[in-house]
């Protein structure tokens, strides 16, 4: 059965710290891995990764995928209180029935 | 604002009842996805429609059903409600069915079953 596992489940840091969030997966016929940020309600898209070793970057956030070891990391540098959110990892499989499987998320709290 | 509209935002009902959640996708998006998010849990995929047809099914209970109408809006019907059905139900849309890529999520419908 397809599985997406995120770690840690929760993390508390102080402003300015750097954090690394992990996502490992077991999916048949992997197509892509996506990261979303969920603050109060609707998840919002951060990155989509399809190729190993190519870093995607947006400001202080970056992410990379390792298709051999089946994991991805999301890095946030110089964290700010506004980064506090649940970060969701999702994996899309290349199947006849397409769906996107989400992990349980990592709840990040950034303290001033 | 993602462009995906969900109604109602909040709904409180009793066990055994039936409710309908509605979703209007972003203009031009043909795919609609429904997800359930229970307290402190990730998003559980329920069902996907593309241009009016069911394309993928996840862990959707038999008591739940959905459809997508010709104008592309979708409805999720939840019947014989149980306490455990209390959750946030998200609708998301994308343009294509294959190579899903980015999903655009609505604000969710929070269902409370008492």
Residue A79 main-chain phi, psi, to 5 deg? -60, 150
pLDDT for the residue B105: 93
B30 to chain A, closest Cα gap in Å: 14
pLDDT for the residue B59: 81
How confident is the model over B4-21, as pLDDT tens digits?
999 999 999 999 999 999
B102 close contact with A: CB closer than 8 A: yes
More confident residue, A27 or B82: B82
- Asked if B108's CB is within 8 angstroms of A43's CB, the reply is no
Give dist(CA B102, CA A84) in Å, integer: 22
A58 close contact with B: CB closer than 8 A: no
Three-class secondary structure of residue B35 per DSSP: strand
Cβ-in-10-Å burial (0-12, 13-18, 19+) of A18 comes to exposed
B2 to chain A, closest Cα gap in Å: 8
Residue B2 banded pLDDT, cuts 50, 70, 90: confident
pLDDT for the residue A96: 52
Question: Cα dist. B67→A24, B20, B26, B72, B78 in Å?
Answer: 33, 11, 17, 9, 12
Whether pLDDT at B80 is above 70: yes
More confident residue, A29 or A82: A82
How confident is the model over A43-72, as pLDDT tens digits?
999 999 998 888 999 999 999 999 899 999
Q: Which of residues 43-72 of B touch A (CB under 8 A)?
A: 43-45, 48, 55-58
Query: Mean pLDDT over all residues of chain B?
Result: 91
Residue keyed to tokens 């059905």: B85
Distance of CA B40 to the CA centre of its chain: 18
Question: Cα dist. A14→A46, A81, A106 in Å?
Answer: 22, 8, 16
Whether pLDDT at B40 is above 70: no
B101 close contact with A: CB closer than 8 A: yes
- For residues A102 and A6, the answer to whether their CB atoms sit within 8 Å is no
A65 close contact with B: CB closer than 8 A: no
């Amino acid at each position: 059965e397809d599985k997406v596992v995120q770690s840690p489940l929760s993390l508390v840091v102080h402003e300015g710290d750097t954090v690394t969030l992990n996502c490992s997966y077991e999916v048949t016929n992997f197509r892509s891995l996506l990261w979303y940020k969920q603050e109060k309600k609707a998840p919002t898209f951060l990155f989509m990764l399809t190729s190993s070793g190519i870093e995607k970057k947006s400001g202080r956030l970056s992410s990379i995928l390792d298709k051999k070891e089946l994991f991805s990391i999301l890095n946030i540098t110089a964290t700010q209180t506004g980064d506090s959110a649940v970060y969701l990892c999702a994996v899309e499989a290349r199947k006849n029935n397409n769906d996107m499987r989400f992990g349980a998320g990592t709840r990040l709290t950034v303290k001033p | 604002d993602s462009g995906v509209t969900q109604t109602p935002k909040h709904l409180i009902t009793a066990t055994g009842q039936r409710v309908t959640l509605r979703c209007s996708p972003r203009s031009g998006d043909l795919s609609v996805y429904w997800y359930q998010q229970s307290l402190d849990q990730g998003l559980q995929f329920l069902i996907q429609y593309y241009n009016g047809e069911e394309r993928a099914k996840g862990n959707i209970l038999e008591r739940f059903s959905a459809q997508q109408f010709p104008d592309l809006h979708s409805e999720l019907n939840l019947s014989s409600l149980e306490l455990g059905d209390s959750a946030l139900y998200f609708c998301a849309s994308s343009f294509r069915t294959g190579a899903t890529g980015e999903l655009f999520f609505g604000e969710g419908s929070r269902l409370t079953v008492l």
